[in-house]
C-alpha cells in the first residue's frame, strides 16, 4: 500500500503566529504533547513493520512549527530516533516554517535534526502574507531579516513561492531577481495557489488566468536558464527537465501517480488525512484519529475517505487524461487543488493547461540541452532502449544543484 518509503506531514501544532489571507488551514490552538508524539511514532513504526516499509520521512510543519519550544524538538528528536533504532527503521526529517518566529536558538536543532536546512515560504510581491496587525510589509521585513540571519548562520534555506496576480503583472524577471539576487536564495519552488479552507475575498481571487500563468512559468524557465542553470534549483522546472533528460527528476506530490500511496498528514489533535490542507480544513475527509486507534494500518485500509483518494486516478484518468501525451508526468494532478476549485476531487486538476505549458517547455529545453551535449549526429535514440543505450551516447547529467527537502513532497 505504501511501498518501501512513506512520509508523514506532521503538524505538532495547529497554531500559527501570522495571519495570511490565503492560508488553506483552519487553525486551532491545539498542540501535540511529547506523550502524544510518542504514541504517534510508535503507531507509525507498527505500521511500517506491518507493511514492510523501511524508511519514513517526517515533514514537520504547522500551524507554524516555530510556535513550539526548541526544547520540545530536542526531546522529540531523541524520542523518535531511539524508537526508530529499536525497530531497525530509518526516519529522517524536513522542516517547513514561515521563519517569522526564528531566532538563533533554533540553530542547533536545525543542524542536528534537519540537516541544517529549512524550507520556508514567501511570495513576490507579497500580497497575502500578513502579520496579525494586517501588515504584509512588516511580514516581509521580518521574514527577510530572519532568513538573512539564518543564511549567515550557514543554514540552507529553500523557499516555496505562490504566484498571485501581482506576480504575473510584475513578470518572471523581477520574481527571479527578488529571490536569487535580493534574498540570496539558491533553491526555490513555485507552487500554484488554491482556495482551501474557509472562504474569503483573498481566496476567491486566487484563481489566475491559466494562459498567463503558463506563460509566467515559461518566462521563468528562460530567466533561470540564462542566469541560474547549474547554480540555482528552481522547482518543479529543474526536476521536469531532468525527467525529460534521463528520467532522474523527482517530481512534486501533485504529479505522483497517487499521493495516497506516498504520505499521510497528522495534526496536533491526532486527526489523520491525506495532506495538511485536508487535515486542518475538511473533517469529512479525515481517515480517523491516531490517538483513538491501535492500528494505523487498519485505519488506512478501512477508511472510506482514504478510499476516495486511492480510487481518484482510476476515476479521473479515463475522462481525458488517458489521451494526454504527458500522462506519465501528471496522473490527473492534485486532489486538493481540484476539490477546492471544483467541489469534487474526481475531475482533473484545474491547472491542467498550466501543467501542459510547463511540460512542453521543459521537454523543449531538455531536448535542446541534450542535443548540445550529444553533439552533431545525434538525433534518434529509441526511448525503450534507455537502459541499453551505448555509453557513448549517454547524456551527461546537467549540473543541477541539490534540492532541499521542501514540501511539496518529492518521491524517494
* Contact pattern for other proteins over residues 272 through 311, marking x by CB under 8 A: --------------------------------------x-
DSSP bridge pairs for 222:
none
From residue 368, alpha-carbon distances to 186, 241, 371, 379 in Å are: 24, 10, 5, 11
Among 69, 230, 283, 318, which residue interacts with other proteins (rule: CB under 8 A)? 318
Residue 177 as a binder of other proteins (CB under 8 A): the answer is no
From residue 382, alpha-carbon distances to 239, 246, 261, 288, 329 in Å are: 22, 13, 31, 48, 19
Grid cell digits, residue 236? 518543479
The residue written with cell numbers 500559527 in the block is 16
* Contact pattern for other proteins over residues 28 through 67, marking x by CB under 8 A: -----------------------xxx--------------
> Of the ranges 26-34, 230-238, 267-275, 388-396, which one interacts with other proteins (CB under 8 A)?
388-396
From the CB of 294, what's the least distance to other proteins, in Å? 19
Q: Which CB, 204 or 379, lies closer to other proteins? A: 379
Among 292, 377, 391, 399, which residue interacts with other proteins (rule: CB under 8 A)? 377
Across 168-324, the runs of DSSP E, i.e. the strands, are 187-190, 233-235, 263-266, 271-273, 288-289
CB atoms within 10 A of CB 323: 9
Among 292, 383, 391, 399, which residue interacts with other proteins (rule: CB under 8 A)? 383
> Of the ranges 86-94, 164-172, 268-276, 325-333, which one interacts with other proteins (CB under 8 A)?
325-333
Per DSSP bridges, beta strands 263-266 and 271-273 are antiparallel
Nearest to 406 by CA among 176, 187, 100: 187
Q: Which of residues 337-376 bind other proteins (CB under 8 A)?
A: 363, 366-367, 374-376
Residue 250 as a binder of other proteins (CB under 8 A): the answer is no
> Cα–Cα distance between 94 and 115 in angstroms, integer?
8
Binding interface with other proteins (CB under 8 A): 1-5, 51-53, 243-244, 247, 257-258, 261, 310, 313-315, 317-318, 322, 325-329, 331, 363, 366-367, 374-388, 390, 392-393
Amino acid at each position: 500500500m505504501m511501498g518501501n518509503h512513506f512520509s508523514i506531514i506532521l503538524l505538532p501544532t495547529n497554531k500559527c503566529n501570522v495571519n495570511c489571507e490565503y492560508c488553506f488551514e483552519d487553525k486551532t490552538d491545539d498542540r501535540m504533547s511529547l506523550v502524544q508524539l510518542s504514541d504517534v511514532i510508535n503507531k507509525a513504526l507498527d505500521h511500517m513493520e506491518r507493511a514492510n516499509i523501511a524508511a519514513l520521512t517526517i515533514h514537520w510543519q504547522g500551524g507554524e512549527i516555530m510556535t513550539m519550544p526548541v526544547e520540545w524538538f530536542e526531546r522529540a528528536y531523541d524520542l523518535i530516533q531511539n524508537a526508530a533504532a529499536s525497530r531497525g527503521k530509518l526516519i529522517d526529517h524536513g522542516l517547513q516554517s514561515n521563519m517569522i518566529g526564528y531566532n538563533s536558538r533554533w540553530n542547533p536543532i536545525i543542524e542536528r535534526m534537519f540537516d541544517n536546512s529549512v524550507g520556508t515560504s514567501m511570495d513576490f510581491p507579497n500580497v497575502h502574507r500578513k502579520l496579525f496587525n494586517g501588515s504584509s510589509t512588516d511580514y516581509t521585513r521580518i521574514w527577510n531579516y530572519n532568513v538573512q540571519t539564518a543564511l549567515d548562520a550557514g543554514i540552507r534555506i529553500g523557499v516555496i513561492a505562490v504566484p498571485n496576480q501581482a506576480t504575473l503583472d510584475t513578470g518572471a524577471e523581477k520574481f527571479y531577481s527578488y529571490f536569487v539576487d535580493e534574498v540570496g536564495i539558491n533553491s526555490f519552488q513555485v507552487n500554484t495557489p488554491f482556495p482551501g479552507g474557509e472562504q474569503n475575498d483573498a481566496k476567491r481571487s486566487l484563481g489566475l488566468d491559466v494562459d498567463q500563468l503558463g506563460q509566467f512559468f515559461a518566462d521563468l524557465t528562460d530567466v533561470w536558464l540564462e542566469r541560474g542553470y547549474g547554480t540555482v534549483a528552481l522547482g518543479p522546472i529543474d526536476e521536469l527537465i531532468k525527467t525529460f533528460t534521463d528520467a532522474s527528476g523527482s517530481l512534486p506530490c501533485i504529479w505522483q501517480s497517487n499521493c495516497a500511496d506516498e504520505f499521510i498528514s497528522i495534526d496536533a489533535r491526532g486527526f489523520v488525512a491525506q495532506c495538511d490542507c485536508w487535515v486542518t480544513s475538511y473533517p469529512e475527509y479525515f481517515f480517523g484519529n491516531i490517538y483513538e486507534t491501535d492500528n494505523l494500518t487498519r485505519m488506512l485500509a478501512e477508511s472510506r475517505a482514504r478510499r476516495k483518494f486511492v480510487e481518484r486516478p482510476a476515476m479521473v484518468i479515463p475522462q481525458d487524461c488517458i489521451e494526454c501525451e504527458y500522462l506519465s508526468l501528471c496522473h490527473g494532478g492534485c486532489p486538493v487543488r481540484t476539490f477546492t476549485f471544483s467541489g469534487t476531487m474526481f475531475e482533473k486538476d484545474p491547472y491542467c493547461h498550466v501543467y501542459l505549458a510547463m511540460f512542453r517547455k521543459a521537454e523543449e529545453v531538455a531536448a535542446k540541452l541534450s542535443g548540445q551535449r550529444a553533439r552533431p549526429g545525434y538525433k534518434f535514440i529509441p526511448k525503450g532502449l534507455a537502459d541499453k543505450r551505448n555509453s557513448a551516447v549517454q547524456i551527461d547529467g546537467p549540473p543541477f544543484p541539490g534540492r532541499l527537502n521542501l514540501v511539496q513532497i518529492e518521491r524517494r
